[in-house]
Structure formats: C-alpha cells, structure tokens
Amino acid sequence: FVSSFILADDDLASEMVDRLCEKAQSGVTVRLLADGFGSYQFPDEMLERVRNAGGKAIKFKPISELSRFAYLNFRNHRKLVVADGDHALLGGANLVSYEMTHQPDDNTWIDYSLRIDGMCARQIEAVFLSDWNFAADEELELSNRPIWTLDDSQSESTADEDQAVLQLIPIGPDGPTDVLNDIWLTGFARARRHIRIVTPYFVPPPGAMQSLATAVRRGVEVTVIVPRSSDVPPADYARLDYLHDLQQTGVQVYQHPDKMVHAKMVILDDSVAYCGSANFDMRSFLLNYELIVGIFNKAKVQESVEWFDSLAEDCIPQACNDTWYRRALGVAARMVAEEL
C-alpha cells in the first residue's frame, strides 16, 4: 500500500509504478493512493498501468481543472508505504525524484522518514485502509494475520535495542478537532530544557506562538530550523513576522542556506520525538489529513537529536532585520496565513 501527497511524472514515479505492476502481476495486493490536489499533474496513464496489472490506483478527492483551487483544504498530506502490514515507511518525504534519488545531489531536498516494523506498522496500515475506504467507497478491513515479531534468531540484546514505544497519531478533519495543536501545546508546556523544531513552513496558530514564548521565558532553550528559501515563497514571507516575534523572546532561529529542508520534527527534552507529515503551520494543525508518530525510546530519540544537531551545524542564524518593508510583508502574509 502506497500513499503520497505529491506524485509527479518523473523517473522515480515510473520506477515505482513498474515495481508495483510487477508485484500486482505476481499476485500481491497493490493499492496506490495519490492526493487529488498535490498530485494534480500526475498522469492518469500511470494509475491506469497499475490497474491494468491487477492493482488498484486512485486519487484522494480528485479535482477538475476548473475547480482545482476551490478545494485547497482537507487534503491528504500523509506519506506512507506499508508492506504486508509488517513493515512501513512514514515521514515527510513525497515519492518524487527531488526527494528520493539513488545519488542525491545539490538539488535534493533534506527530509526525514522512519522505517517501522511490527505492531505500529499494522496501525499505519489501518490508517491507509481508512483513507482508501473513504476515497474508493470500499469497506476493506485489516487482515487477521499474526502480528509481526522479532525473528527468533536475533539476540535478546539486539531485540531490546530495536524495540521502541511508539504512538501513532492520525490527524484530520474526520477525527477530534485540534489534536495536533493540543499535542504541541501540552508538550511545550511540559518541556524543561529543550524544544527543537525543524519545519519547511513556519506559520503556527497564536496558541503555539504563545506557548513557545512562554517556554523561553521559563528558561527552556527553543531552536527552530527552516530553509532559507522554501518551495512556497508566500509561506517564507508569512514566517518573517512569526519568527521575528519569537526571536525577540529569545528563540534561536537557523536557516539552511543551500537546500530545501522538508523534514517535520519536534523534539522535547531529548525524551520524546514527533516525526511525520505535519508541518508547523495552520494547514497541518487544522485542515489537512496528517500522520505523525511519537517516539518514546531514549536511544531512538537520541538518533533524532543527533540528526537535528548535525543539520544545525550546516545552518546559519537567521538575521532579524526589523524594517518597514519586512513588517509590511509580514502583516500582509499573516492576513492569508491559513491558506498558505
């Protein structure tokens, strides 16, 4: 099962469709789900190839050319792959060639995804099936296969190192409201030492802004990493005012000078890390279908901390130039922040 917000007519998509077709022809159940807005330009011929091979492929809430911008909200922003309900990939990376390449180059985006095996993978499969049933008007259910366990040949020490307590958190307009907002605000309020955030777009709701400022005032070190230039220039203008306000309270803001950083991660006190598809913006907080996972294993959280710190070393402090032009851009962008 494969789901991606963005699919493009590129070499990666062609290779992926080839492999899905091979699997479908061999008798494996194959389903491909692409968001109707994010994958608007993904050719229907690609989907048809999967269908002709015996698989199924559809778009989530498909849109027409005339109505494309009338349906910006409630998009499926999740990115995941599930194999046999036992193995899964989940994170921020879309299945496009500028994010996933055999040989990354200077134009390849920086992103972060997780390989998950075991019970949580079955839960990820359940989220996919829920999305599929809504989009395809079907009633698929989880299979009754036994839950995957570590191979008996693995040593006990290896098993202990690889096991982790995870919390899978689906977010969307079909569930309880403000789930992501509640998670962040609760986590920020409980933080005592560090809050680390990496996101391509920083356009949060007022409550998150206030919570981060409050954390700084009680002595918590807050660090935010964003790309210098993202793929959505209006969002870059919008973040100016937000980040300026936080810098005034003592938040450390860093920009990656060379690459698009598309990873989405929040790490609290080196004790829990949240990773997945949700950006730190109002669209992810309130409007999109998102999927994040909370990691509560200290060793695994430390891996995320090390990755964050390594990324920070390649970044530079964001200049805080308080000019009338910057203020005008920030105010104007805030007026349409929810649509960014």
- Cβ atoms < 10 Å from Cβ of 131: 23
Q: What percent of the chain has pLDDT over 70?
A: 87
Q: In sequence order, what E strands does 211-324 have?
A: 221-227, 252-256, 265-268, 272-276, 280-281, 290-295, 316-317
**Length in residues, the chain:** 340
The continuous run of DSSP H or E covering 2 comes out as strand 2-4
Q: Is the pLDDT of residue 317 over 80?
A: yes
The more confident residue out of 150 and 207 is: 207
Q: Are 36 and 61 in contact (CB under 8 A)?
A: yes
Query: What number of CA atoms fall less than 13 Å from residue 275's CA on the CB side?
Result: 26
- Rounded distance, CA 265 to CA 139, Å? 33
- Cβ atoms < 10 Å from Cβ of 85: 21
- Rounded distance, CA 89 to CA 168, Å? 13
Instruction: Report the candidate in 123, 88, 79 with the shortest Cα–Cα distance to residue 262.
Output: 79
Q: In sequence order, what E strands does 205-337 have?
A: 221-227, 252-256, 265-268, 272-276, 280-281, 290-295, 316-317
pLDDT tens, residue by residue, 101-146: 888 888 999 999 999 999 999 999 999 999 999 999 988 887 766 6
DSSP letter, residue 127: H
Q: What region does 330 belong to: left with phi over 0, alpha with psi -120 to 50, or beta?
A: alpha
Residue 50 has phi, psi (to 5 degrees) of -65, -45
Q: What percent of the chain has pLDDT over 90?
A: 69
pLDDT tens, residue by residue, 187-215: 999 999 999 999 999 999 889 999 999 99
**The token pair that represents 324 in the structure block:** 């009338």
The three-class DSSP label of residue 173 is coil
Average confidence score pLDDT of the chain: 89
Q: Are 199 and 227 in contact (CB under 8 A)?
A: no
- Rounded distance, CA 84 to CA 31, Å? 12
Instruction: Report the candidate in 183, 206, 188 with the shortest Cα–Cα distance to residue 290.
Output: 183
pLDDT tens, residue by residue, 90-107: 999 999 999 988 888 889
**The token pair that represents 55 in the structure block:** 């698989």
